[in-house]
Amino acid sequence: MIKIPPYLQKGDTIGLVCPAGLMPVEKVSECIRVINEDWGFTTKVGTTVGRQYHYFSGTDEERLEDFQHMLDDDNVKAILCARGGYGIGRIIDKIDFTNFKRNPKWIIGFSDVTVLHSHIYRNYYVSTLHAPMANAFNKEGYKNEFVQSLRHALEGKKIKYQVAPHEFNRKGEGIGELVGGNLALLAHLVGTGSDLKTKGRILFIEDVGEYLYNVDRMMYQLKRSGKLDKLAGLIVGGFTDMKDTEMPFGQTVHEIIRDAVTEYNYPVCFDFPVSHEKENYALKTGVGYKLKVGKSKVMLEE
Q: Which residues bind other proteins (CB under 8 A)?
A: 22, 52-56, 86, 89-90, 93, 187-188, 190-195, 213, 216-218, 220-221, 224-226, 245, 247-251
Smallest distance, Å, CB 125 to other proteins?
20
Nearer to other proteins, 1 or 247 (CB): 247
Strands 288-293 and 298-301: what pairing? antiparallel
Give the Cα separation of 19 and 29 in Å (integer): 17
Minimum CB–partner distance for residue 194 and other proteins (Å): 7
Which positions ≥6 away from 133 have C-beta within 8 Å? 80, 81, 82, 83, 84, 108, 109, 110, 111, 113
Of 7 and 86, the one with the shorter C-beta distance to other proteins is: 86
Whole-angstrom distance, CA of residue 302 vs CA of residue 276: 23
CB of 172 to other proteins, least distance (A): 26
* Distance between CA atoms of residues 10 and 292, nearest Å: 34
Sequence-distant contacts of 162-165: CB under 8 A, at least 24 apart: 162/297, 162/298, 162/299, 163/269, 163/271, 163/272, 163/273, 163/297, 163/298, 163/300, 164/271, 164/297, 164/298, 165/269, 165/293, 165/294, 165/295, 165/296, 165/297, 165/298
Q: Pick the closer one to other proteins by CB: 49 or 150.
A: 49
- Whichever of 4 and 190 has its CB closer to other proteins, that residue is 190
* Shortest distance (Å) from residue 246 CB to other proteins: 9
Q: How far apart are CA 204 and CA 198, in angstroms?
A: 10
229, 293, 292, 214: which is closest to 260 by C-alpha? 229
DSSP state of 228: S
Q: Specify the residue, 205 or 293, whose C-beta has the smaller distance to other proteins.
A: 205
Residue closer to other proteins by CB (options 86, 125) is 86
Q: How far is the CB of 108 from other proteins (least distance, A)?
A: 22
* CB closer to other proteins out of 253 and 282: 253
CB of 217 to other proteins, least distance (A): 5
Instruction: Find the shortest distance in angstroms from Cβ 55 to other proteins.
Output: 5
